[in-house]
Every structure is written in C-alpha cells, then in structure tokens.
Amino acid sequence: MGAVHHKAKSLSLGMIGGGEGAFIGGVHRAAIALDGRFELVAGAFSSSVERSLSSALAIGLGEGRGFANLAAMVDGMSEHPLRAVSIVTPNFRHCEQVVAAANAGLAIFCEKPLACTLQEARVMAAAVRRAQVPFAVAHVYSGFPMVAQAKYLVASGMLGKIRRADVVYLQGWLAQPIELDGQKQAGWRTDPKLAGAGASGDIATHAHHLLEHVTGDTLSHLSARQSSLVEGRLIDDDVSMLGEMASGARVTLTASQIAIGRANGLTISIYGDRGSISWQQEDPDVLWLCPDEQPEQRWIAGSDKGYLTEEARSMCRTPSGHPRGFIEAFANLYGDFADQVESRSPSGRYPGLQEAVRGMAFLDALAKSSNANGAWTQIEDVKL
C-alpha cells in the first residue's frame, strides 16, 4: 500500500461554484477530504448570496461561510486567509475567476477545459504567470496509478518506437435532448455560450491530455469532424479525429456523448514496434501489457510483486484487490497541488498551466479542421 502523506496543518481553501446539486463540486470536496491537506473553509457557491449561504450550511461549513464572489470571500475570510481556490464553475466563468484569483495571489485548482476559447486561455495564462501562483487543472485520469505505470513503460522504451495510439471516450447520457427537460448538467453543457464546446470540451480534452501524458509526445496535426447528432442541438455531441504526433506516430481519437449503453468508457491503447499497452478507466486497476511474441500480461495496481514503479505505488491508497477509483485519483491531484502550495512552486508533476492551455489549442484546432470539412490542421505549439 502506498504512503499517503498528511500535514500537521491544513491549507485553507475556498471553492467557487459547486453548490448544492452540483455534481462536480461534491467530487472535489470528497477528494479534498481524503487526505486533509486542504481545509475547505468558505465558498462562493453561487452569485446569489442566499443560495451561497444555503450551500455553505448544507455542506457543513457553518454560518457566514457563503459568499457571492471571490472578492467578498477573500474579504470575509480575512481572519482565516485563503491559500488556494478550487474553481468548479461552468466553462464560461473560468477566465474571470482565474484572473481574479491570480491577482489575489491565490493558488488555483481549475476544472477543465480551461476556458471557452484559446484567446481566453492566453489571458488566463498571462495572469497566472505574472502572479507566479501554483496552478493545477482537473485532468483527473492522470491521477490513476496504472496510468502512471503506463507512462513509465512508454518512457522506459519497453514498447520500442511508438507507431500509433488509439483513444476512445464514449458516454451515452446525452443521447436524447434531455437539456430541453431542464436537466441542469445537460443544460449548460449543451449551450455554446456557457460551455464553448460540447463533447469536445467535456470529454475529448480528457482523451487528448491522456494521450500526451502517457506517450510523452505532442499531437501536432489533426483532421477532425465535430457533429451534433441529436436533432436541434447547437453544440457538438460526437467527435472523430485522425492525428499525427510530433514523433510521427499515428493517432485515432473518438469522443461521443450519444453512445447509448456507454457510461464512462475511456480507453487508451499504445502500440510500439516491440509491444503494446492498454488501459480502461472502467477497470482502472488493470494495465494490459503485450510484449511482442510473448504472452499477454495483466498488471495490477497495489500488487506486491515488485513490478510497479515508485510513483505508481505511491498513488495506490489500498492493497491489491481493493479497487481504486475516481475520487482517489482526484485526491492524488490535490495532494500534488498541496505540495505546490506549500513550496510556492508554480507547477507540479500532474497537469498544470501548460497542459491546460495545450488543451485549448487542441480544441481550437478541432474546430478549425471540422469547419474546413476535416482539413488537416496544425495544433498551435503552446510554450509557456
């Protein structure tokens, strides 16, 4: 079982968004609570003071811990100053909130995608870099132990020269126009003004980040088609892409939220000239390794057989046979973020500002290619 490090004093953290009824806010709070590295002390859970105060009470923060915005929260918590904020609002609010948090000198943990446009992402990156504050982005799948193991196997050369990669992310929850029935999560995610991009921003960005994280390579060119397959929907709900990595490796990436029967089917497979690996988010403790001309191998998170790297072991919170999951992966990211805050380092080992802006460059190229009937499009080389 990997070590989980606890600190004597928790770091005070405020949350923006994520009030009562918000799925992702509860996920972040559960992850924060696992290790106690941060203490959630206040929140601007809603632009309505009344709703924000109600949310603060509902999640156990007590009287007077709900605020209408970041500025009011910072002022109201002057006797218990904030060290960091977690931003879990819809995408269209991220830019103003990240800039305000950076200007206030706060460390920032932000949901993905970073923004609605690449232009907004540049504004946010400039503010964070000026302030030199720690920044993390919620690409949660990099927090799974066997993803770390997969990354190590690629980097070690065990697979040889990487020739191709396939990433698939299938969900079915938006197969029908449930946004028309008042479903809250569907409502803002299918509104171009609030989300910026549909399935592309919500899940294809995860697939893109996982691809670059595991391979250690960058996607350089793509040919894509974004589609709205539910009649009348104003935003993409299905994405198909061919791509090429900087190394020359070929890529296919598929992301869909209209795949009936699929819950959260994220899978990545990497093929080299000496072997391959495959990982599925719905069976996250297993990594399949297929060396060329050898039997297929099933590697298990938490194993005591000695084949896991130190990093993968450190991310395992329970012994083999006790499944790790989504909340634990998020907690691993928050643990790394806490290390950044304590050291005042602007970046950590998990996804940060560079990866967040690269995700927006990916979305920008997807849209350009799709609007040009799938023309091959270069992804902007973002260097911060």
Q: What is the pLDDT of residues 210-244, one digit of tens each?
A: 999 999 999 999 999 999 999 999 999 999 999 99
Region 346-357: mean pLDDT is 91
What tokens were used for 172?
């079915």
List the Cα angle 114/115/119 in 5-degree steps: 115
Kindly tell me if the per-residue pLDDT of 157 is higher than 90: yes
Residue 338 is predicted with a pLDDT of: 97
The answer on pLDDT for 7 being more than 50 is: no
What are the residues facing 38 on neighbouring strands?
A: 11
Whether residue 1 has pLDDT greater than 90: no
> What token pair was written down for 191?
């509104």
Average pLDDT value for residue range 93-113: 98
pLDDT in tens, 13-29: 999 999 987 889 999 99
Give pLDDT, residue 23.
Answer: 86
- The average confidence (pLDDT) of the chain is 94
Q: Dmax over Cα atoms in the chain, in whole Å?
A: 65
pTM of the predicted model as reported, rounded to 2 decimal places: 0.94
Q: Predicted confidence band at 322 (pLDDT cuts at 50, 70, 90)? A: confident
Q: Which domains does the chain have, with CATH numbers?
A: 11-140 (3.40.50.720), 143-319+353-371 (3.30.360.10)
Nearest to 139 by CA among 159, 110, 116, 117: 110
- Measured distance CA(256)–CA(233) in Å, rounded: 14
Nearest to 115 by CA among 106, 105, 125, 107: 125
pLDDT greater than 60 at residue 8: no
Contacts of 212 (CB under 8 A, 6+ apart): 218, 219, 355, 358
Residue from 156, 356, 124 nearest 275 by CA = 156
How far apart are alpha carbons 314 and 212 in whole angstroms?
22
87-101, 118-132, 339-353: the lowest-pLDDT one:
339-353
With 0-12 / 13-18 / 19 or more C-beta atoms within 10 angstroms meaning exposed / middle / buried, residue 318 is middle
A 10 A CB-CB count for 3 gives: 9
What pLDDT was estimated at residue 4? 45
Asked if residues 125 and 353 have their Cβ atoms less than 8 Å apart, the reply is yes
In the chain, % of residues over pLDDT 70: 98
Q: How many alpha carbons fall within 13 Å on the CB side of residue 95?
A: 16
